[in-house]
Homo-oligomer: A and B are copies of this chain.
Amino acid sequence: MRLFLLFFLVTLRLGAQTWTEVAPGIWKARIGKPEAYDLLTAAAVSPDKKGLAALGTATFPLNKADVKATAADGKTYLRFPLQKQEQLYGFGLQFQHVHQRGRIFNLHVDHYGNTDNGRTHAPVPFYVSSEGYGVFINSARYLTVYAGSAVRLDSPNPPPVQDRNTDPNWSAHPYSDAVEVLVPATGVDVYVFAGPKTLDAIRRFILFQGGGCLPPRWGLGFTQRVHRLYTADQVLKEAALFEEKEYPLDFIGLEPGWQSASYPCTFEWDKTRFPDPAAFVNTLGKKKVRVNLWTNPYVSPKAPLYPAIKPYAGSHSVWVGAVPDLTIPAAKKVYWDKFDREHVSIGVSGYKIDEVDGGDAWLWPDVATFPSGHSAEQIRQTYGLLVQQQSTELYHRKNQRTYGLVRASNAGGASFPYVIYNDNYSHQDFITALINSGYSGVLWTPEVRASKTGEEWLRRMQTVCFSPMAMINAWASGTQPWSFPEVADQVKAIARLRMQMMPYWYSEFAKYHFQGIPPFRSMQLEEGFAPDIRQEKTNTNLEENPYAVAVAREIRDQYMAGEYLLVAPVFTGQTSRKVVLPKGKWYDFYTGKYAGDGEVITVEPGLDKIPVFVKDGGIIPFMPPLLHAPVAGEKTDLEIRVYGSRERSYELYDDDGETYDYEKGRYSWRKITVRKQADGKLSGTVSAPGPGQPDSYGQITFRFMTN
């Protein structure tokens, strides 16, 4: 005789009364009894009310009756409707796919392991739909997501039953009319973000977290992370070489060897390699080169900090080092005070915080316990948020902006000035991650480390210069921009182009901050972009493809950079590539020549160039190719490049570039306006900065790229 369990299954009706509009176009439903500690609690950020208000009001974008929640088995089951033709995007930093409908994820902070299964550096539980809305599940648990893969027996609109014996169109993945999510907790807060456009839903999601981060100007320059065992002298020599060879350099990253012991860490300078850290940082600072420090957060038993942090440590070690429970205020204080004392107070500009992602084999296990009582799972889902939030706060207290690197983030982290990176090194996957970062409110750098050939070196350098952080990470290899002499000139050219475009990048990041628009994002968010997304059976050999699984075509190798630029990277071995141009006229970035309109073009850019196209009416402000970002108060000239023949305007952002004074209103949006004159020719004007506001620009000229 089989024993029967009591059948606890409660379906909650999510009617009109359940949804509270918490900001214009953002609704929250509290389901069951949510846990006190969630992603937004960990991030400890507040919505940008002004930015959200500017987006206007909207109506609830789903049929409320179609959103369902069930409590069963001690968990919460969520269900959101899908229309037949809807496509889904997001669910965090995925590396291989942009279209997410039909996929299954276990959202879990981890190193990306070559499969888009939800284990990633930023498993943000947020998705947007091609129908123009977004959904966010505010849980610090490992969520299992069925993004349109499961078919209910009682579906009101089920797919047809097919007989595989006779029906060649039989599919192992029949159409599903819902996104379903398993939340392993007895309750959760769910948010819905209105459009009307998909980008609007993303913007609301980012502004709800306080807006995207605004890096300091120098953060958008060029950065070199030097060999892990370099001494102070070697670092100074390397900086001098950059100067001498005229390669831009804004900050240098020191890798593990700056510490007296690493993996786990002491957070103390190694005095044999860095005998006088303050003088070292100061020397570089005088040359306008800042210092960023690598660390992982795990405290070595050899660290002087260890006795003070041990009472706040989790049960399990990472590499025998203590894991501080940074949800405890006392732990946070003792921990970051150390960083302040040893590094920030002597001028260190920021951090690269490593290994907060995983992998499982060395991170604390899910059976670890923490003194706060938060579970290992919750701490894992939020540790990247905690280190970002707390280190940012440290700099914020000093009214000094920082810009660094981190290996894990999550929802709530959009405003933190950190860029995600990893150890994977697939150039293609790096670009797909860059595309997907824009869906999840995170930043990603396709960092350059080493290369087998000069071609690869240059191709990687071209894309990293069109990303949130233009970086060489030479920790293992000691590479330098000029390591491949056959492409050293081209590398210098692209690094200098990066510097020239700083006014554009800076303005685009300001739009990320104030308007929630991701600076790097998917083509699907661009109006007029409609690639062929038919499902096609790629392999009908049953031996190799026994379930006849169809594969969707998707564009994962071109992206939008800022308001106007379409970037189409070329990978090693390619001499030509296809580029899908959205509807509307597009122009070559380098020549201003007309390139196409709503069509697929083939380009052969040669080795020197990364294909970049500018939208009709595009306005790109350039500055001279300085070797270092201008400091506060320093004036640079502007050359405003204009593409196509359309009248348009551009918002040029300006502030001091280094402090948080913009939070007190110390900034300007200067309007660049391009109009047709009576003779049909274009001419441009730029409005003045607000009275008493910073003014970073000297002589301003216009260059009309298209004849």
Contact = CB atoms under 8 A, between A and B. Distances in A.
Interface of A: 1-9, 35-37, 41, 44, 70, 72-74, 77-79, 102, 104, 144, 146, 149-154, 158-166, 170, 172-174, 180-182, 184, 228-229, 256-257, 259, 261-264, 270, 300-302, 310, 313-317, 319-322, 327-329, 360-362, 364-369, 371-375, 377, 423, 425, 449-450, 475-477, 541-543, 546-547, 549
A206 B173 CA distance: 38
Nearest to A229: B165
A41 B375 contact: no
15 contacts: A3-B41, A144-B367, A146-B365, A150-B364, A150-B368, A152-B316, A154-B315, A160-B320, A161-B301, A161-B320, A163-B262, A164-B261, A165-B228, A174-B319, A184-B184
Contacts of A542: 475-477
Contacts of A37: 3, 5
A648 to B, nearest CB: 45
A393 to B, nearest CB: 13
B372 A5 contact: yes
B476 A165 contact: no
A374 B72 CA distance: 10
Nearest to A322: B153
A256 B164 contact: yes
Given A423-B546, A450-B543, A542-B476, A367 B8 contact: no
B263 A543 contact: no
Most chain B CB within a 10 A radius of its CB, from A160, A228, A315 = A315
Contact of A367 (B150, B162, B328): B150
A374 to B, nearest CB: 6
- Overall SS of chain A's interface: loop
> Taking each of A146, A264, A302, A450, which has the highest tally of chain B beta carbons within 10 Å of its own beta carbon?
A146
Number of copies: 2
Given A5-B36, A182-B367, A362-B547, 11 more contacts: A5-B35, A153-B313, A153-B315, A153-B322, A161-B300, A162-B263, A163-B300, A174-B320, A180-B367, A423-B547, A475-B542
B373 A8 contact: yes
Given A164-B263, A180-B365, A73 B377 contact: yes
B320 A366 contact: no
Contacts of A259: 165
Contacts of A104: 360-361, 365
Contact of A164 (B3, B262, B547): B262
Contact of A261 (B149, B165, B366): B165
Contacts of A41: 2-3
A149 B316 contact: no
Contacts of A78: 367
Contacts of A70: 367, 369
A228 B4 CA distance: 39
Contacts of A476: 541-543, 546
A329 B2 contact: yes
A490 to B, nearest CB: 22
A164 B308 CA distance: 23
A535 to B, nearest CB: 14
A546 to B, nearest CB: 5
A477 B543 CA distance: 7
Contacts of A322: 153
Contacts of A173: 361-362
A7 B36 CA distance: 13
A412 B150 CA distance: 29
Given A153-B316, A301-B161, A449 B543 contact: yes
Given A149-B365, A316-B153, A256 B72 contact: no
Nearest to A549: B361
